[in-house]
Amino acid sequence: MLENYRSPWMDEDLDAFGDSVRRFCKEILEPNEMKWRAQHYIDRDAWLKAGELGMILPDLPEEYGGAGGTPAHACVVMREVGYVGASSWGYGINYLVGHYLANYGTEAQKQRWLPGMASGEVITSVAMTEPGTGSDLQGVRTTAKKRPDGKYVINGAKTFITNGQMCDMVVVVAKTSDAPGAKSISLMIVDTANPGFRRGKCLDKVGQDAGDTSEMFFDDCVVEADALLGGVEGQGFFQLMGQLPFERAMIAVSAAALMERALALTVDYVKERKAFGKALIEQQNTRFVLADVKATVTASRAFADVIIQRWIDGTLDSAMASMGKFWLTERQGEVIDKCVQFFGGYGYMLEYPIARMYADARVQRIYGGANEIQRELVARSL
């Protein structure tokens, strides 16, 4: 973390919550990282312990299993998880799905799913991306056709799905009609115990190896009528658009935190590492480059704080979230790349956290909506 810098939205309650989250990150996430990377998934015990601390859905009402906090509590979790570099952990998907349900779900849907999601007993995923669709959500081919008895039959394939191997429930983006464009899109809630649901392989990625990113298949997957999120067809695209700014804000906040960690790791290293008889920190090039890095990291923290404050105030809009997403993830890539250079060959070895952070950072510019799409969204606000 940046020394002598306190985010203006923090208070004593958030400090105390942050301390408990930090202990969890240090005692649970950090020591198990290499094990989880090898097995390509996060143990369920970690989810359950996070649930006990109120980390997963901290800003939902207690009646739905949440901790009754505010978006500030959620942002504390995002930052602390970023500070230990645990970017593979897909807890954020539970957060997003929780807010899909809280904002658009029926009361029965909320009561059925939210308490288990908040406790970590229910792991969720969102099945948006399909082979060939990418950021074009209106181009999905997965269908959910309604039968005369009111049930829906889902058919289609999805890919790059976070929590795909571990999830107990998945929100599926599907077409429920032949209406043009967005009007045909609905969100369907599928229990993964459904015999029509099938997991594909866990995908090998460049980074974020501890995450179970997977393919999914729906083969005549029959669900009840109450699987339709909100109970009204054709609302899926608008439901997605309503929550995507928060997903992008989450990515932006994590990017800023990860930059801070990269700087801290590098400063520690250059103080210990010697070359030509002097510590690297005593070399002018090291000092000048890291001065630039610190300026970037400080500016990024300030930008993230603006996003968080607007989130807390309820004024975060799509343009601000998209700006944060593309600008901060690109700064993340630049900062970590510069930091890797100081580690020399060790910076390319995966036993060093900086190398893993380097590999993990690249996808930040892709998921949550590619950065090119984010620029287009911001341009529309000009």
Cβ partners under 8 Å of residue 33, min gap 6: 85, 86, 88, 210, 356
Identify the active-site residue in 33, 80, 233, 247: 247
Beta bridge pairs of residue 279 = 274
Helical ranges in the chain per DSSP H:
12-24, 30-39, 44-52, 71-83, 91-104, 107-119, 236-272, 284-313, 318-343, 353-361, 371-379
DSSP-derived 3-state class of residue 131:
coil
> For residue 177, what is the DSSP state?
S
Please state the φ and ψ torsions of residue 369, each to the nearest 5 degrees: 100, 115
314 neighbors 307 (Cβ within 8 angstroms):
no
Token pair 């009754």 is at which residue? 68
**Per-residue CA distances from 39 to 36, 170, 211 (Å):** 5, 22, 9
DSSP-derived 3-state class of residue 199:
strand
| DSSP structure string for 137-165 | GGG---EEEEPTTS-EEEEEEEEEETTTT
50 neighbors 68 (Cβ within 8 angstroms):
no
Please state the φ and ψ torsions of residue 179, each to the nearest 5 degrees: -60, 150
The answer to whether residue 215 is catalytic is no
> For residue 231, what is the DSSP state?
G
Which structure tokens are listed for 244?
Answer: 């995507």
Q: Catalogue the active-site residues.
A: 247
